[in-house]
Amino acid sequence: MVGRLKVSVEGLKELDAALSELSKATARGVMRRALIRSAQPMVAKAAALAPKGETGELSESIIAATKNSVEGDAGLRAFGEVMRAGGSKGEAQTALRDARRQAGAGKAFVEVYVGPAKAKSKRNAIKRIVQEFGSVKQAPRAYLRPAFSATREQVLGRIKGELSTEIDKAARRAAARALRPKRARAKRAPKAGTTGAR
């Protein structure tokens, strides 16, 4: 994708060790929440820099999210291509799985994107790209790249604190669940005077 920039934060060994104590799904949720919260200064700056236009739609649509709506789903694209080419549904499902596996190969455990939410129309989606990068008819009015430059250090600085907070919350929830008495799987005996029917 044009303009994609990848940033990694390293040197968080203690937090990494704490994350490994959590289940994979819980760790992914912890990282997702921490990264989205950490990215909020960039979201706010991009929204402030985005052209307002008549409706302010672009400015109001800036979010941090784990799904890059611009790239879409490689699996669904592969599925559609096989079906349009006259393939069977089984072949299309195989193509879907293979494309998703290939798209996920080498990807980070969690990725967070900052930018406009999915546009309501193809025209609006194109306008958003033209605003950032320009076209033969319009000079660029970048809002994402300057927002990244202005807030990069602040965002990266927040990640460790947000991650630590989220790990602590997840560990407390796990400890509380472990202390709760397990409910008996068998049905309770009916009270005296009842038939037990519901």
Q: Out of 119-128, 136-145, 151-160, pick the least confident.
A: 119-128
Q: Which residues of 162-175 are buried (b: 16+ CB within 10 A; e: fewer)?
A: bbeebbeebeeeee
Number of domains in the chain: 1
Residue 61 sits in which domain range? 23-66+110-176
Asked if the structure places residue 195 within a domain, the reply is no
Please state, rounded to an integer, the average pLDDT across all residues of the chain.
79
Q: Does the structure show a pLDDT above 70 at 97?
A: yes
On whether residue 191 sits in a domain, the answer given is no
144 found inside a domain: yes
Count of alpha carbons within 13 angstroms of residue 157, beta-carbon side: 6
Tell me if 194 is assigned to some domain. no
Residues 55-65 have a mean pLDDT of: 84
Placement of tokens 């319009």 in the chain: 138
